[in-house]
């Protein structure tokens, strides 16, 4: 009877017998069922004593583990019940002589069989459900674990390895992860349905070892029409049965490779596409060896769930890497590539992008040459990260340079820059982060040795004295922070900024930085500033080495925020290279001013510049007498260029215009503009200064020694 019923079950439910463990336990369960049923018939036992045979409970649990629907379990009982009654009826007919007896026996047997099946199926369904719940709980636990273990960083290779490790722990003996070139920010194309070239970047094994004949770090080319190419194109997973005599050509790239695969005993392969946001990224391969069962439907769904999560994380890492690279390129293109060589100061600088997921920020620094041998030092920080912050940084840096060209005082420059930020805020689309920034703007004058600076929400700079002037040892330096009124960050509007002034002796250092240098989760700002002072107090003579030591001491690991650092060492202009004359507001002094200029050029050995310089001095002094008001002063500065300045007490600035044919004036400034490299006007609290610069002839080498 058992063989007949088993044969019927195989023909009616062929899919169930593809699982070896079910095929092994089914005959035992059926035999125990028949034995228990016949025992109840023979001894007329009470149905309350019915206990499901152990093999039958195991059979139900195995069905639940393989994800076989519960309807299939119930159908098994219906088929067994029908076959049992049919066999029982045939046996009754064979041995009974009376139709009444056959009829009574059939009714009694049917009633007992129905009651037996009801009670047994109720217990097996409960066992099935318990096992199914446990399996679902394990699946949920696995998915939660995958969510925790996969995507811990925004690194594509690390994420792929995490996927392989989770797959090897819960699903397969071997796991491989292959990605398309564009997912790795590499060159390469992909055409759906055609040949696919992928790079294997991660692999894992459940037993902790991989055969290097199977796994190699090289690109894999899957031919057009192959299973991996189809899976990658349509985004649907695929299960493949493998035997020693039937290894797919795409899986064995050489006879040696095929032999290694046969030695491993691979028998089941699950291909799952890595798709994210509607686009393919790569392929995950889950492989089982001889000791494992084939992948069932539930395991395929579990693999899809894990891989889909990993694909989103890999795509996020890819997008982050791409945006970070773009932002870094933009950031570096906007920062000064080469800090201009200034005789007023010697500078060294560093920029470090953020090492966190936040991405590149908007920190910047700048060194801007100004008229009168002065130099502007700038450091700023746009709040936020990413492309938007980098682009905003570029706009603000351009604005600062434009405002610096008109020689505004630090507080006036920040006021205008504040207006620029407010206008940018109004231009922004709704829903975007509001633009805000901090900025420190300092101007150093090597003639007066005065430093003027103002802050818009930015940390004050560190001021380092010359060696031996304030410390115990001969090479030590005193370090402090100037008393600087900190204004509001840029973008608030309506609040004033203040300029502070202090003298900087020669060989002093001014250290400007953004908050990323001193802010850290592991220590407070005060401790960081103390450490900064300690490093600067014993810093080497080289500014480049000083920058390196600051970064090494304050940032032992990758910074959590962007860092901009600018170190400037001050110089003072030699008194022999500055000449000043006070002039009366009288046209008669113009010739005397020309004579002063000519004599000074002779003293400097620059007689070849006499003609142009006398014309420039004559025009600037004449303009000051005619349109300005006293007192009037002429100053000549020999630095890397020759600068002529004329100052007066009027705030009215001259304008370059084209003179008409019969105009008696209006041509002087045009001549000045054409004969000099640069000219301009700067305003101060006493009036204005009109200046013009000329290049020093290459033969004159005294400019290299103008600082003391």
- Lowest model confidence (mean pLDDT) among 67-71, 370-374, 622-626: 67-71
In sequence order, the β-bridge partners of residue 690 are: 646, 681
- Neighbouring CB atoms inside 10 A of 8's CB total 15
Task: Please answer whether residues 46 and 90 qualify as being in contact, where contact means their C-beta atoms are separated by less than 8 angstroms.
Answer: no
The whole-number pLDDT of residue 292 equals 61
Residue 188 has pLDDT above 70, yes or no: no
Q: How buried is 189 (Cβ within 10 angstroms: 0-12 exposed, 13-18 middle, 19+ buried)? A: exposed
Tokens of 451: 């430093």
Model pLDDT, residue 606: 92
Segment 121-134, tens digit of pLDDT: 777 888 888 878 77
**d(Cα 21, Cα 293) in Å, to the nearest integer?**
9
How far apart, in whole angstroms, are the C-alpha atoms of residue 374 and residue 345? Answer: 9
What gap in Å lies between CA 84 and CA 554, rounded to an integer?
A: 83
User: Sheet harboring 462-464: ordered strands across?
Assistant: 345-352, 563-570, 509-513, 462-464, 479-480
Query: Is the pLDDT reported for residue 190 higher than 80?
Result: no
Length of the chain as a residue count = 708
What backbone torsions phi and psi does residue 363 show, to the nearest 5 degrees? Answer: -75, 145
Q: Give the tokens for residue 671.
A: 């001549």
Q: What is the pLDDT of residue 489?
A: 92
Whether pLDDT at 270 is above 70: yes
* pLDDT tops 80 at residue 65: no
Instruction: Count the neighbouring beta carbons within 10 Å of the beta carbon of residue 494.
Output: 7
Q: Token digits for 665?
A: 């004036």
Phi, psi torsion values for 45, nearest 5 degrees: -80, 165
> CB of 196 within 8 A of CB of 222?
yes
Per-residue pLDDT at 333: 62
Nearest residue to 668 via CA among 677, 678, 657, 652: 657
513 confidence band (pLDDT: 50, 70, 90): very high
Does 704 have pLDDT greater than 50?
no
pLDDT for residue 703: 46
CA distance 414 to 429: 25
Reduce the DSSP state of residue 274 to 3 states and report it: strand
Taking residues 658-671, report their average pLDDT: 58
Give the span between the Cα atoms of 688 and 681, in whole angstroms: 7
- Burial code of 121-154, b = ≥16 C-beta within 10 A, e = fewer? bebbeebbeebbeebeeebeebbeebeeebbeeb
Alpha helical stretches, state H, 440-563: 525-537, 543-554
pLDDT of 376? 94
Query: pLDDT per residue over 420-450, tens digit each?
Result: 999 888 887 665 567 889 999 999 999 999 9
Give dist(CA 147, CA 150) in Å, integer.
6
Overall average pLDDT of the 80-106 stretch: 71
Give residue 468's region: left, alpha or beta (phi > 0; psi -120 to 50).
left
pLDDT band at residue 156, thresholds of 50, 70 and 90? confident
| The pLDDT value given to residue 360 | 61
CB 414 within 8 A of CB 497: yes
Burial label, 354 (beta-carbon count in 10 A; 0-12, 13-18, 19+): buried
> Which of the residue ranges 177-191, 362-376, 439-453, 472-486 would you say has the lowest mean pLDDT?
177-191
641 or 95: which leads in pLDDT: 641
Pairing state between β 238-241 and 500-503: unpaired
**What whole-number distance in Å separates Cα of residue 589 and Cα of residue 303?**
93
ω into residue 631 within 30 of 0, thus cis?
Answer: yes
Residue 85, both tokens: 């009654």
Instruction: Summarize pLDDT for 529-574 with one digit per residue, the tens.
Output: 999 999 999 888 899 999 999 999 998 777 777 889 999 999 888 8
Contacts with 642 (C-beta within 8 Å, 6 or more apart), sequence order: 606, 609, 613, 636, 693, 694, 695, 696
User: Residue 216 has what pLDDT?
Assistant: 52
pLDDT of res. 23: 78
pLDDT above 70 (res 687): yes
Check: CB of residue 637 under 8 Å from CB of residue 602: no
The mean pLDDT of 682-691, rounded to a whole number, is 86
Q: What is the arithmetic mean of pLDDT over 313-318?
A: 85
With cut-offs at 50, 70 and 90, classify the pLDDT of residue 474. very low
Chain segment 280-302, per-residue pLDDT in tens: 888 999 988 766 677 878 888 88
Residue 63: both structure tokens together = 């069905």
Most confident of 34-43, 110-119, 294-303: 294-303
The C-alpha atoms of residue 302 and residue 318 are separated, in whole angstroms, by 24
Task: Inform me whether the pLDDT recorded for 382 exceeds 80.
Answer: yes
Instruction: List the structure tokens of 592.
Output: 């005397």
| Per-residue confidence band for 464, with pLDDT thresholds at 50, 70 and 90 | very high
Helix (H) or strand (E) holding 557: none
3-state secondary structure of 364: strand
For residue range 359-374, what is the model confidence (pLDDT) as tens digits?
Answer: 566 888 999 999 888 9
Residue 565: predicted pLDDT: 93
Mean pLDDT, range 191-216, rounded to an integer: 69
CA distance 589 to 311: 81
End-to-end CA distance of the chain: 114
Per-residue model confidence (pLDDT) at position 657: 56
Do 518 and 554 touch, CB atoms closer than 8 A?
A: yes
Q: What is the pTM of this model?
A: 0.62
pLDDT above 60 for 681:
yes
Nearest to 345 by CA among 322, 378, 319: 378
Q: Tell me what the mean pLDDT of segment 81-93 comes to.
A: 71
DSSP track, 625-651: HHHS-S-EEEEEEESSEEEEEEEES--
CA 230 to chain centre: 33
- Tell me how far apart the alpha carbons of residues 600 and 133 are, in angstroms, rounded to a whole number: 99
Q: Would you say residue 176 has pLDDT above 50? A: yes
């Amino acid at each position: 009877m058992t063989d007949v019923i088993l044969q019927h079950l195989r023909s009616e439910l062929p899919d169930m017998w593809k699982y070896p463990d079910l095929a092994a336990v089914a005959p035992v369960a059926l035999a125990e069922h028949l034995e228990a049923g016949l025992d109840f018939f023979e001894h007329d036992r009470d149905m309350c004593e019915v206990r499901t045979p152990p093999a039958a409970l195991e059979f139900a649990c195995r069905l639940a583990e393989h994800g076989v629907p519960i309807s299939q379990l119930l159908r098994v009982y219906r088929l067994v019940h029908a076959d049992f009654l049919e066999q029982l009826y045939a046996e009754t007919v064979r041995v009974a002589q009376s139709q009444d007896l056959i009829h009574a026996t059939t009714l009694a047997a049917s009633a007992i069989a129905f009651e037996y099946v009801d009670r047994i199926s109720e217990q097996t369904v409960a066992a099935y459900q318990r096992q199914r719940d446990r399996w679902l709980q394990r699946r949920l636990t696995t998915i939660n674990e995958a969510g925790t273990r996969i995507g811990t960083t925004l690194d594509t290779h690390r994420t792929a390895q995490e996927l392989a490790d989770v797959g090897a722990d819960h699903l397969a003996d071997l796991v491989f992860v292959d990605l398309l070139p564009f997912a790795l920010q590499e060159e390469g194309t992909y055409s759906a349905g055609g040949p696919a070239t992928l790079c294997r970047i991660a692999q894992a094994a459940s037993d902790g070892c991989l055969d290097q004949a199977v796994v190699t770090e090289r690109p894999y080319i899957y031919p057009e029409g192959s299973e991996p190419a189809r899976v990658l194109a349509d985004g649907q997973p695929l299960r493949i049965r493998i035997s020693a005599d039937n290894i797919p050509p795409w899986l064995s790239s050489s006879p040696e490779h095929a032999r290694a695969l046969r030695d491993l005993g691979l028998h089941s392969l699950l291909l799952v596409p890595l798709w994210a946001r509607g686009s393919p990224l790569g392929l995950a391969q889950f492989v089982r060896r001889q000791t494992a069962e084939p992948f069932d439907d539930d395991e395929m769904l579990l693999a899809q769930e894990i891989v889909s999560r990993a694909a989103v994380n890999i795509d996020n890492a890819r997008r982050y890497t791409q945006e970070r690279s773009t932002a870094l390129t933009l950031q570096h293109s906007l920062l000064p590539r080469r800090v201009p060589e200034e005789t007023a100061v010697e500078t060294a600088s560093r920029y470090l992008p953020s090492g966190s997921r936040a991405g590149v920020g908007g920190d910047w620094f700048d060194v801007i040459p100004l008229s009168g041998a002065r130099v502007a030092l700038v450091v700023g920080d746009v709040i936020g990260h990413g492309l938007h912050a980098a682009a905003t940084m570029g706009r603000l840096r351009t604005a600062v340079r434009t405002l610096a060209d008109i020689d505004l005082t630090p507080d006036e420059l920040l006021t205008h820059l504040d207006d620029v930020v407010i206008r940018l805020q109004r231009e922004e689309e709704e829903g975007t982060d509001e633009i805000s920034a901090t900025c420190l703007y300092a101007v150093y004058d090597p003639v007066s040795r005065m430093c003027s600076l103002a802050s818009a929400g930015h940390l004050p700079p560190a001021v380092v004295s010359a060696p031996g002037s304030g410390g115990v040892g001969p090479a030590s330096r005193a370090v402090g922070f100037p008393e600087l009124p900190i204004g509001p960050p840029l973008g608030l509007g309506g609040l004033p900024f203040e300029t502070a002034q202090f003298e900087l002796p020669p060989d002093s250092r001014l250290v400007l930085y953004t908050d990323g240098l001193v802010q850290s989760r592991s220590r407070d700002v005060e401790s960081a500033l103390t450490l900064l002072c300690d490093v600067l107090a014993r810093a080497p003579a080289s500014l480049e080495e000083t920058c390196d030591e600051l970064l090494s001491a304050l940032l032992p690991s990758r910074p959590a925020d962007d860092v901009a650092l600018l170190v400037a060492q001050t110089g003072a202009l030699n008194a022999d290279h500055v000449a000043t004359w006070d002039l009366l507001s009288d046209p008669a002094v113009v010739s005397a001013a020309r004579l002063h200029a000519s004599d000074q050029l002779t003293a400097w050995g620059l007689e070849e510049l006499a003609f142009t310089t006398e014309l420039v001095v004559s025009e600037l002094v004449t303009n000051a007498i005619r349109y300005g008001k006293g007192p009037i002063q002429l100053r000549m500065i020999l630095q890397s260029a020759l600068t002529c300045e004329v100052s007066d007490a009027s705030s009215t600035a001259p304008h370059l215009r084209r003179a008409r044919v019969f105009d008696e004036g209006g041509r002087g400034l045009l001549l000045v503009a054409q004969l000099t490299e640069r000219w301009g006007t700067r305003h101060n609290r006493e009036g204005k200064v009109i200046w013009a610069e000329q290049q020093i002839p290459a033969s004159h080498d005294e400019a290299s020694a103008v600082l003391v």
